[in-house]
Amino acid sequence: YIAENFNYQIIDFQNDFINYKDIKCKNIVFAEGFGLHKNPFFNYLPLDGTKGELIIIKANKLDLNVILNAGLYLVPLGNNLFKVGATYNWDDKTKEGTENGKSELIDKIKSIINCEFEIIEHLSGIRPTVKDRKPLLGRHHIHKNLHLLNGLGTRGVLLGPEMAEILYNFIENKVPLQKDVNIERYCKYLNFK
């Protein structure tokens, strides 16, 4: 894979394919999360964001080898490290972690475990959410070889594989998308066809 920012301006649309830098392909699927706002092909969609924060802790005396979900999640990472999350903030769209978010997680983890722990890392990000809480899947209304997989929100880990398979079958096998996830549910208000 290539780790870089995508340059939308240099997409070269041909009859049956797309050129992007040195890559020739039939389709492009944008799965950019909250970065969709910068995408000139799909930024008309009503994607909102919900900030989430998590911490990585080290707890040498915590004997846990399964994921715990009890008002927050606790995921064993190995070597006595655990991922603890997550917070929900619908107003703050910054990428930086906050002391309030960190304190909320510390208070919650202290109510669940009864051993010492050390905070190793504090992370945050913006979940791509949609007001109707449905994913955004579909094809661009003009450029039929541009596709979108987004809006998975707080259930991205759970929904991601299934939504990717649904979009794959739409693109490759012409299986229609369900109306509740198809971006056409918003295009009709914008007079797109």
Measured between alpha carbons, how far is 73 from 86 in angstroms, rounded to an integer?
7
Six-digit token string for 69: 């979900």
Cα-Cα-Cα-Cα dihedral of 152, 31, 3, 169, to 10°? 110
Fold agreement between 10-46+132-190 and 50-128: no
pTM to 2 decimal places: 0.82
Q: Which CATH number does the domain 50-128 belong to among 3.20.20.70, 3.30.9.10, 3.30.1240.10, 3.40.50.2020?
A: 3.30.9.10
Q: Which of 118, 126, 113, 115 is nearest to 86 (CA)?
A: 126
Specify the CATH superfamily of domain 10-46+132-190.
FAD/NAD(P)-binding domain (3.50.50.60)
Residues 149-167 have pLDDT tens digits of 999 998 887 899 999 999 9
Report mean pLDDT in 10-residue bins for the chain, 193 residues.
90 94 96 95 94 97 91 93 94 94 96 96 95 95 96 86 98 97 85 61
Domain assignments of the chain as residue spans, ordered by start: 10-46+132-190, 50-128
Measured between alpha carbons, how far is 176 from 169 in angstroms, rounded to an integer?
8
- Where are the strands (E) in the chain, listed by range? 12-13, 18-20, 23-25, 28-30, 47-58, 68-69, 73-78, 81-85, 118-130, 136-139, 146-150
